[in-house]
Every structure is written in C-alpha cells, then in structure tokens.
Amino acid sequence: MGMLAWVIMGLALWHYTIWLPDRFWGGIVGAFLASIAGAIVTGVLISTAAHGTAIPGRHATHLATVLYAVPGALLGMALIYAIGATRERTASAEL
Amino acid sequence: MSDRVRHIFVITLVTALVLVSLLVCVGIPGVVKAEKTRLGLDLKGGVELVYEARTTSGKPVNSTQLNDAINIMRTRSNTLGVSGVIITAYGGNQISVSLPDVQNTARAEKVVGVTGQLFFYDWENSVIGADGKIAGPNAPTVTCGNSGGTFAACGISYYDAVIRGAKQPEHSYPVMSNPAPSFYYVDDKTKTVYAPNGPEPTKAFLDADILQHHIRLPSGTRLVEVKQGTVLIAATSAPEVVVPNDYYVLRDDAVLTGSDISNPQSTTDPTQGPVVSFGFKGNGASVFQRITGILAARGHANSIAGATPNLQHFAVTLDGQLVVVPSINFQQYPTGIPSGNGSEISGGFTFATANQLANVLASGALPVKLHEISSRLVSATLGHQALNQGLIAGLVGLALVALFLLVFYRVLGVIAVSALAIYALYFYALIKLIPVTLTLPGIAGLILTIGVAADANVVIFERVKEESRAGRSPLNAITAGYRRGFSAIVDANVVTFMAAFILFILSQSDVQGFALTLGMGVLVSLFTAVAATRAILGTLGRTRVIRAPSALGVTKGRRRWTFDFMGRSRWFFSLSGTILLVGAIAIGARGVNFGIDFVSGTQIQVALKRTATVGEIQSAISSLHLKSQGQSIGVPVVQGTGTTAKGSKKTDSFQISTKTLPSAEIGSLGSSVKTLYGMLDHRWGIVPNSFNQNSVGPSFGRTVADSAAVAIIASLLAIAAYIALRFQWKYAVPVMIALMHDLLITAGVYALTGRQVTASTVAALLTILGYSMYDTIIVFDRVRENVAKMQNAAFSQIVNRSMSEVLTRSLATSLCTLLPILALLFFGGSTLKDFAFALLVGVASGAYSSIFIASPVLTHWKEREPVYRRRRARIAAEYGGMVPAYATAGAAAREVDPVPRRKPRRGLTDAVRPDGTIAAGEFRELVQGLHADAPPRRASEPAAGPVVPEPARVEPVRDPTADALPEDVVMPDDRSAQRARGASKSRNRRRGRPR
C-alpha cells in the first residue's frame, strides 16, 4: 500500500512540471520517470529509517507515509532538469 | 468481387446467422427445442468451494495429481444429484468446484473435498501409551478396553498427543498412512498446538500456514517433529461433534488401505442400522481374515473364563480421523472373519454419513491433500433476484444507447440500432451454443460490450459525416468513412480483446466469466458493427433512403471545435495532479477498503421477515460473543442492503462481514455461523432461501491479489508492445502514462469514498485499461493521419487539429459506454453496482486522459524532435514569436494528401512501393517543403541543393539544409495492408488494364 501511495504522489507532482520550461533530460517522459523513481527511492529510504520496513503494508500506511515520496519526487525531477539544462547549453555552444 | 456482390453476400450471411440464432434462442415449438442458458452460481444459487492442493510428502503438486484429483472429485459430485457441476484447476495447485442448486455447504464439503484415505489398524497393537510403548491387549485405560476408542473415551489432548508422538523414534512400515514427518508448533505454557491446516511435512509449509492465517506465535513457542512411523489420530467425544477434541497416538503400521476394498455400499444390518459394506480386492480378503484371526486369538488368549471377554479391535481411520473401532468376537470368529463375501463397517453412522463414506470409498482416495481456502453459498432466491436486476440493467442500457444513436445519427442510427439488436441476438445464441456459464460479472461484460459495439459505429459514422461534409456524395462518404475508420477500430478492438484475453488467462472464475463475455463481445461486435452495417449502408447508399447528407446526420453550418487543447493542457494537467494528490492523501489517511476477496473473512447476506436497524443487528451479534477455536471472530461489520422506508432507519436485508476467520470455519456453516443464524431467525425471522455466505481464506485472497497484479502488468506490457508496433514506440509511452493516471485516479477515488474493493473491481480496472486505450488509440490514429497530411505544421497544431476533429466522436463514444454503465449503477444489484462504480470513474477518467493527458505528453515529447523544433521556430518567427493554436494560414496550413487515391501501380516511379520507400518525385516535394524547417547552416559547410535520390532506392538524406529523413515526417501507417492487397492482385489489374 505504501508503494501505491508513493507512486500516486510521484505521478501527482509530475503533473505540475508542465508549468516549467521543457529542459528535462528526456523531456516530459524523463521527468515522469525521475519523479516516480525518486518517490519510490526516498519512500523506501525514509520508511526503512523510520520504521524498519522498506514498504509499509496496508495497516502501516499513514498520511506521513505518503509524504515520504515528496522529497524524492522533487529531487529526481530537479536532477533531470539540471542534466537536461546542462546538455542543452552544451549543444547550443557547439553550434 | 464487386462491392455490390460483397454487400449482398454479407447481408445474406447476416440474415442466415440471425435465423440460426433465433432457432438456438427460441427454437420452433414442437420441432426444435431452444438451447438452455447455463447460469452461474451467483444467478442460480449453489455452493462454490476452492481448494489448495498439497502433497503429503511436501513436494510440489504436479498436473497429473491435480487432474486425477479433479476426476475423482467429479465422480463424487455426481452423487450429490445435481447437474452442471464445474470443477476446474488453476494456478497450478488450486481446484475450484461449483455445485449449482446445492444449498448445504457442509454436505458438499464432505462429499467433494475429503481426501478419502482409508486405513485399517490393529488397534491394541498400534495405540501408544504414556510410557511410549505399544499399549497391547491389557491396557484398557489406553485403548478404552471394549469401547475400543470409539468417541474418544480414552483419548488425550492434542498437545499431549503431539508431545507423546514426538518422543517416538523414526520407523518405516510396509503400509503407512503418512510416509513423512509431521511438524507442529507448540506452546508449552498454554499447552496449545499451532497447525492451522493440520500438520505439515516441512517447516516451510507450516510457516506458510501460520503466515497465511495471521497467527502470531507467542514467545516460547517451539517447533515439534513427529517422525515418520507415528501418526496422530483424531477422535470425537460424541457423534454430533464435528471438530475432533481428543487424540490417540498410533504406530503407523496399517494392515489394509482403502485401495484394498471394492464395491463399497451404504446398506443396513439385520437391525436396520446403517452400515457400509464392501468387498476386497486382490489378497485383501485373506489379509483381513488373517488379521481378524490374530485379533480373535489374542482376545481369546487374554480373556479369563467366566469374566467379561477381552475383545480385541481393529480401527478404521479416514483422513486421520477415527471412523469406527469394531471388536472381533473370538467366540463367533475364532479363526478370523471370512471375507469371501466382503465385510462391513457398522456403528456410529447415520444413513447420510454411511452413504457419504460409501461414496468417498467408491471414488477412491485423492492423490493430494486439500485445504479449503474459499467457499461461497448463494441462495437461489438472491441468485434469481440478481439475474433479474442484471437483465433489467442490460435492457435499460441497450435502450439508452439505441435512443442516443437514433437522435444523433438518424438513418445511420437506425442501422446502428439494428446492428446492436443483431449483436445482442448473436451473442445470446453463442452463450447458449458454446455454452458459456453466465455469471453476474459476465452480464456486466455483456452490457459493456453494448457500449463497445455502439462505439465502433460512432467512430465510423463520425468519419462518414466528415467525408460527407467534405463534399462527397452519401455513397462515397460511406465508402471513405468505413475505409478510413476501419484501422482505428481494429486497433482499438485488438487492444480491448488483448486485455480480455489476458484477464481470462490470469484471473479467477468470476472475473474469467467477465473476460470471456467481453472478449466474445468484441469479436461479435466487430462483425455486426463494421461488416454488417457496411453492407447494409452500402446497399442503402444506392437507394433513395440515403440521398441527402442530412440522412447521415450531417447538419449545415457545423461548428468546429476551436479550443486550444494543447495550450490549455497545463490547467488540465494541474487538475489531474490535484485529483491525484487528494487520492494519495486519501490512501494515506483512510486506506483502501479491501473486500474479503483480498483480506479473507466471512460475508453473510440475509433477508429478514421483520425489519431492523443496523444498530440493532450489530448489538445483537455483539452480544453473542462469537468465537471460533477459542478466538474471537472480531466485531462484525453490518450494513443495511435492503429498501428503507422514508423517515425510517429500518431495513429488511443486511450484509454482515467479519474480517478474520479461523480456518476451521471456512466454508462450513460452523458453530459461530449457526449461532448467528439461529439468533437472527429467532428475533427477526429469516426469509427462506435468503441466506448467502461467502468465506475466503487468506491464501485465496493472496491468490486473487497476485493474479490481479500480474494481469494488470501483463496487459500493460502487451498493449504497449502492440501500440509500439502499430504506431511508433513514442506513442506507447503517453498511452502507458494515461493508463497509469486512470488506474491511480480510480484507486484514489476508492480510497476517498471508502467503497469496497472486490474481485469485481479488479475486472473493472482491467476494463478501464481496455477502454482507456480504445479511446486514446482513436485519438492517436487521427494524429498519425494528420502528421502525414500537415507536413509544415507544429506538432501542437497537428494535435489540436486532431482533437477538434475527434472530440465529438470521443464524447459520443464515452456517452455510449457510460449509458450502459449508468444503467448498471442504477438498476444492477449490489455486485453490479460496485462494478459499475469502478467503471464509471475509470471510463470518465479514460476519456479525459486520452485528450488531456496522453495527447499533451505526446506533443511535448514529439516537439523535442529536431524537425518539429525547427517547424515551431519557423512558425514563431512568422507570427512574431507565438505559435497559433491551429495551422490556419501560411505555410503551416499547407496540406498534402499522403494517401494515394489511385490504385497502386508497379514501376520505378511508383509513389508507394511494397518495401515502404517513397517515389523520387514525392520525395523531392517533401524535401522542398522541409526547406523552411531547415536548421541554420554552418559557415564551414558548402551549400547544397536538394538531393535527388536514385529512382530505384531512397538513400538517407545527407543534405545539411534539410537533414530530416522521410520517416521523420511520415508516420508508418496501415497502408502496408493496402500494399499487400495491391501486390496480391493480378498483374493486369495492377497495371490498370482491363482484364
């Protein structure tokens, strides 16, 4: 259940990237993958650190569990954005 | 074959099939009997049992063992006197048994599900005493003397039996009931044994049982092994007690087995008491006489003259439980019982139990041990009620769709409605002919396919209207509409069929019924909605009926959608993001309410003669303090499901659910359920045949959840692969994202509303997969078409144009699908309502995501490609920095018709060739068109004119002024099929000369 919550949170946050300039590495799909992957990674890390369980089950999923995904999703998308922007600058310089 | 001849042929075929279908459905009174419809348990009433098979040795069950078990169970079920029994294997180790019309779960279990392993023991020479030694003939406190252990007069507790058995060394005997060790967990403090499914041959199996039954072992619990050669036999303290409460420890040295006997029959003894008589096979008779002779001699030797004779016994056990322990009268049979004419088992039987034992023995022992993991009892009354509700929902759904089609499409609507009626008739005939067992989810699938069948017509009719508006004559518009709409329909139906197929392969019985009807419906609707309507319209197109475009529903002054779909997609994205955020928070805060299909437990539905409030029922049940195996079954959840009078909280139907249920209760009308039944009947009166019981064990719930997850992942992969093949891999990714969006929004809505997720919800989720893709594919098909046409427009302009062209169709198809779903929601029974709710959310989300999620993602991704980036830059430069929403002026508005209307010709300058290359002339035009999109030239590179490729082969373009390859701007499409058809035509035809 925890995994489901993290994936939904990652997907939800990804939707707002539409407001940013499309400089993500791999475009909007790259941002999507980064958001989902980041959400799962930090979800697992924080859950393991806080409760000793990698993926909380049905009864162990609470509101806080859902929020574990937020930093990962944001970091993942920021990372992909930074890579994309750098590559774009490099490509422009070469022209 | 000309179009006219082909149409006549199709109409003749359709008519012939209609007549055959009528014959199957209605028959001819007195001549041909109509086929019967096979109804499933949920519509007819009956018992469904699901078992998990395990070997006694701990090895995995193989298919031969499973098939043998099914054959034996089928033979046994015949003795229940019901027809239409369905026994199927699935999941590699599970067996599902459906027994229509049976209303006694306990009886069904005893006939079908018992392993049936019968063993005969020399009683006094097998029972082990407290000292760990064989009791022998003179230990009546251990063997019960002349009572012979019947009804456990001298038995010991389960814990003591395990401890006593564990002290025995390992032995091997020629005939053993259990040639493997037995493992138990025991708690010495409370003297409790933990083996929820009985002893297991390995620790791993036992651990799995403990885990499945959510048993938390107390600290200090230890594993105990009873080695091979010792067996624990359960006994009951009284004949009417079902659960054994006393045990004997026996040396597992059996003298005869069930396979040594023949022709077992239930009969009566001279006192008219019930007995089970049987003969012997092979040397069974001589062994029996020898053993009884030994018992007689031992009894004689250990008896004192004048005192009560010390009779010796042999014990008959069935599946580890003592059946009977008869004594041998040494005075009557001093040399043993002659068994040339067979023998009999008597004592402790009722006529019913004697009959059951005879039947079990006659069919033979099962080669595997069965654990019941789910059982369902559906009353006939509620089954019929569900059937009526399903039929009403179906008829209302059909009527609503028909009304919509008639209003919206006029003459075309009449033809579509006729096609729907033909579809319904064919489908009903197929259900009778195959025969398909019609279940409630199956009816839901059937109703949904009404929407799918209407969708196909809508897609084509909208295309026909477009062609008519473009100035074609009605006949030409019909021909062009079918030709252009066909590929989209095939793609969409293939995807829906794939989802249905995967669901059928990977799911459980009820969901399978749904998948089967959905898959069949897709195939039948493809024939009726495409082939039949085309033939009818093609014929009518030559008549006066369709002479004016208005007959096709084409109105003057048609308004075109001018909405900037891509420009406003940010707001729609944000809306979806917000819905998903709320869904995620709901999942965290409220969780998902899983039904007993997933979490195990018992659900009871009951109709009462006198009304009551939920609170009254709840408190009445709580006061019973229901327990099972010493554990509380928890506080049951009570819901009112009947009609409630205005201003009153009282109702007459209730659903009672318990979340936990010890294994012994599963499937049988256990003592707790019996108590509950008695209380409800006493206080409010239970309407006859209105008691439904559904019990699901933990392992069955896990199987349902696992199979659902596998089915969803498999569907996604298969569908992605199909879209990548038919379109382009970049088109598959937005489809997957849109699907994920739909499924997760549905999950979020379920969490938010607290509705229960059942096995039917899983079927609905998979339908959402199919439908959402159906809609997205129709949209993408038009994008693909316009990409080839609009070779100077930005991708966002192409998508906007495509959206404006298909939005009406998309809304119409969504409405066509939503109408039957709404009918299900309002008129279906409780099961269908649950199903319809998931569909309603999913289909609405699917229609939305096709337009506002999948297409924008595709646009954003495609616009990163160099060719579209350059186009966008050029258009922006042309319009002062902005890109108009629609390509209505300038170079962007220039369109080419990429599909040659002439028949393919063969030759070096052919426009479209079988190998997929394009003609030199067309390529030159294309490159010239692309010049406007050319990237800035580097100063170091020499200017070059357009490259003219070799006529025979199109080489990759090296021109720096136009570095796009033809495939950058022309999508692969379905014309390969046309080319193939062209290639198969005769040479003369292809050259265009008359034959």
Tens of pLDDT, residues B96-106? 888 877 767 77
**A18·B581 Cβ contact <8 A:** no
- B583: chain A residues, CB-CB within 8 Å: 8, 12
* Residue found by looking up tokens 């349902």 in the block: B704
Other C-beta atoms closer than 10 Å to the C-beta of B946 total 16
3-state SS assignment for residue B493: helix
> Which of B578, B581, B587 is facing A61, going by the closest CB pair?
B587
pLDDT in tens, B455-509: 778 888 878 887 887 777 777 888 888 887 787 788 878 877 887 888 788 766 5
Q: Which residue has the higher pLDDT, B172 or B105?
A: B172
- Note whether B666 contacts A: Cβ–Cβ < 8 A: no
User: Is B314 in contact with B122 (CB distance < 8 Å)?
Assistant: yes
> Which residue in chain A has the smallest CA separation from B567?
A18
Query: Pairing mode, if any, of strands B756-757 and B94-100?
Result: unpaired
Of A16, A63, A95, the CB nearest to B589: A63
Most confident of the ranges A22-36, B717-731, B789-803, B965-979: A22-36
**How long, in residues, is chain B?**
995
3-state secondary structure of B694: strand
* Neighbour-count burial of B398, counting CB atoms closer than 10 A to its CB (0-12 exposed, 13-18 middle, 19+ buried): buried
Three-point CA angle A47, B717, B864, nearest 5°: 85
Q: Which residues of B touch A27 (CB under 8 A)?
A: 860-861, 864
User: Which among B727, B702, B741, B822 is positioned nearest to B783, based on CA atoms?
Assistant: B727
Does B939 touch chain A if contact means CB atoms closer than 8 Å?
A: no
ipTM value: 0.93
The reply to whether residue B577 touches residue A13, judged by beta carbons under 8 angstroms, is yes
Q: In what order do the strands lie in the sheet with B651-658?
A: B86-90, B94-100, B46-54, B369-378, B692-696, B601-612, B651-658, B637-640
Q: Do B857 and A28 touch (CB under 8 A)?
A: yes
Q: Return the number of other C-beta atoms located less than 10 Å from residue B86's C-beta.
A: 17
> Which pLDDT tens digit goes with each residue over B832-886?
777 788 888 878 888 888 888 888 899 888 888 888 888 888 888 888 778 887 7
| CA–centroid distance for B490 within its chain | 24
Distance of residue B158 Cα from the nearest chain A Cα, in angstroms? 34
Which pLDDT belongs to residue B630? 52
> How far does A46 lie from chain B, in Å, by closest CA?
15
Nearest residue, CB atoms, A27 vs list B578, B591, B861: B861
Q: Coil, helix or strand for B860?
A: helix
B683 vs B379: CA distance, rounded Å = 21
pLDDT at B963: 39
- Please give the pLDDT value at position B310: 79
What distance in Å separates the CA atoms of residue A21 and residue A19, rounded to the nearest whole number?
A: 7
Q: Which residues of A47-82 are buried (b: 16+ CB within 10 A; e: fewer)?
A: beeeeeeebbeeeebeeebbbbbbbbbbbbbeebbe
Q: Is B593 on the interface with A (CB under 8 A)?
A: no
Going by their DSSP bridges, the two strands B756-757 and B593-594 should be labelled as: parallel
Q: Per-residue confidence at A59, pLDDT binned at 50, 70, 90?
A: confident
What is the nearest CA distance from A32 to chain B, expressed in angstroms?
A: 9
pLDDT in tens, B602-637: 777 787 888 888 788 878 877 777 665 555 666 677
Chain A residue with the nearest C-alpha to that of B745: A8
Contact criterion met (CB < 8 Å) for A22 and B744? no
Q: Residue B106, exposed/middle/buried by CB under 10 A (0-12, 13-18, 19+)?
A: middle
Contact between B599 and B659 (Cβ < 8 Å)? yes
CA distances (Å), origin B680, targets B131, B615, B674, B691, B743: 50, 14, 10, 11, 40
When pLDDT is cut at 50, 70 and 90, the band that residue B151 belongs to is low
Give Cα separations from A65 to A37, A58, B587 (angstroms). 16, 11, 10
pLDDT per residue as tens digits for the range B782-811: 888 888 888 888 888 888 888 888 888 778
Bigger pLDDT: B273 vs B892: B273
Q: Return the percentage of chain B with pLDDT > 70, whole number.
A: 76
- C-alpha distances out from residue B526 to A61, B438, B493, B656, B813, Å: 45, 22, 8, 43, 15
Mean per-residue pLDDT, B901-906: 45
Of residues B895 and B40, which shows the higher confidence score? Answer: B40
Give Cα B663 distance to the centre of its chain.
24
Q: What is the pLDDT of residue B901?
A: 46
Output the pLDDT for position B891.
62
Buried b (16+ CB within 10 A) or exposed e, B260-297: bbeebbbeeeeeeebbbbbbbeeebbebbbebbbbbbb
Percent of the residues in chain B that have a pLDDT greater than 90, as a whole number = 4
- pTM (two decimals): 0.64
Q: Which residue has the tokens 């030694």?
A: B133
Out of B594, B741, B860, name the one closest to residue A28 (CB). B860
Say yes or no to pLDDT of B710 above 90.
Answer: no
State residue A70's pLDDT score.
92
Q: What is the mean pLDDT of chain B?
A: 75
Q: Is B686 exposed, middle or buried (0-12, 13-18, 19+ CB in 10 A)?
A: middle
- Looking at residue B576, the DSSP 8-state letter turns out to be H
Q: Does A34 touch chain B (CB under 8 A)?
A: no
Residue B747 identity (one-letter amino acid): A
Q: How far apart are CA B45 and CA B103, in angstroms?
A: 8
CB contact under 8 A, A9 and B581: yes
pLDDT digits 0-9 by tens, B523-553: 888 888 888 888 888 787 777 767 666 666 6
Calculate the CA A51 to chain-centre distance: 21
CB contact under 8 A, B588 and A58: no
Answer whether A12 sits within 8 Å of B583, measured CB to CB.
yes
Instruction: Categorise residue B649: left if φ over 0, alpha if ψ from -120 to 50, beta otherwise.
Output: alpha
Residue with tokens 């064919």: B426
B655, B660, B664, B668 alpha-carbon torsion, rounded to 10°:
10
Q: Where are the alpha helices (DSSP H) in B623-758?
A: 671-683, 698-726, 729-753
Of the two residues B45 and A30, the one the predictor is more confident about is A30
Tell me what pLDDT residue A35 has.
95
For range A64-81, the mean pLDDT: 92
Contact B448, B817 (CB under 8 A): yes
Concatenating the DSSP letter of every residue in B217-233 gives PPTT-EEEEEPTTEEEE
Flag whether pLDDT at B238 surpasses 70: no
Q: Which of A9, A15, A58 to mutate to test the interface with B (most CBs of B within 10 A)?
A: A15
Helix extents (H) in chain A: 2-14, 27-51, 63-67, 69-94
Interface membership of B624 toward A (CB under 8 Å): no
Query: What was the pLDDT predicted at A88?
Result: 85
Q: Is the pLDDT at B697 greater than 70, yes or no?
A: no
Q: What's the pLDDT at B152?
A: 53
* Residue B251: predicted pLDDT: 92
By the 10 Å C-beta count (0-12 exposed, 13-18 middle, 19+ buried), B939 is classed as exposed
Mean pLDDT of B224-230: 92
In this complex, do B860 and A22 lie within 8 Å of one another by their Cβ atoms?
Answer: yes
Single-letter amino acid, residue B299: G
Q: What is the pLDDT of residue B896?
A: 64
Nearest CA among B848, B859, B847 for reference residue B733: B859
Q: Confidence band (pLDDT; 50, 70, 90) for B923?
A: low
The residue of chain A with its CA nearest to that of B578 is: A12
- The alpha-carbon gap from A65 to the nearest alpha carbon of chain B, in Å, equals 7
Residues of B in contact with A29 (CB under 8 A): 733, 737, 857, 861
pLDDT of residue B508: 64
Q: What is the pLDDT of residue B898?
A: 57
Question: Using 50, 70 and 90 to split pLDDT, how confident is the model at B663?
Answer: very low
Task: Give the tens place of pLDDT for each residue, B670-680.
Answer: 566 667 777 88
- Residue B689 above 80 pLDDT? no
B21 or B557: whose pLDDT is higher?
Answer: B21
Q: Is the pLDDT of residue B664 over 80?
A: no
> Between B858 and B567, whose confidence is greater?
B858
Q: Do B861 and A29 touch (CB under 8 A)?
A: yes
Chain B residue numbers with beta carbons less than 8 Å from the beta carbon of A69 are 584
Q: Which of B574, B588, B737 sits opposite A63 (nearest CB)?
A: B588
Nearest CB partner across the interface for A58, out of B591, B857, B936: B591
Residues of B in contact with A58 (CB under 8 A): 591-592, 594, 599
Contact B587 A7 (CB under 8 A): no
Angstroms from A81 CA to nearest CA on chain B? 14
Question: Omega of the bond prior to B435 within 30 degrees of 0, cis?
Answer: yes
* Confidence band of B976 (pLDDT split at 50, 70, 90): very low
Q: What pLDDT does A31 receive?
A: 94
Nearest CA in chain B to A69: B584
Structure-model confidence comparison of residues B22 and B565, the more confident one: B22
- Closest-CA distance, B822 to chain A, in angstroms, reads 27
CA angle (B345, B350, B352) in 5-degree steps? 100
What confidence score (pLDDT) does residue B778 get? 78
Q: Among candidates B853, B821, B820, B843, which has minimal Cα distance to B834?
A: B821
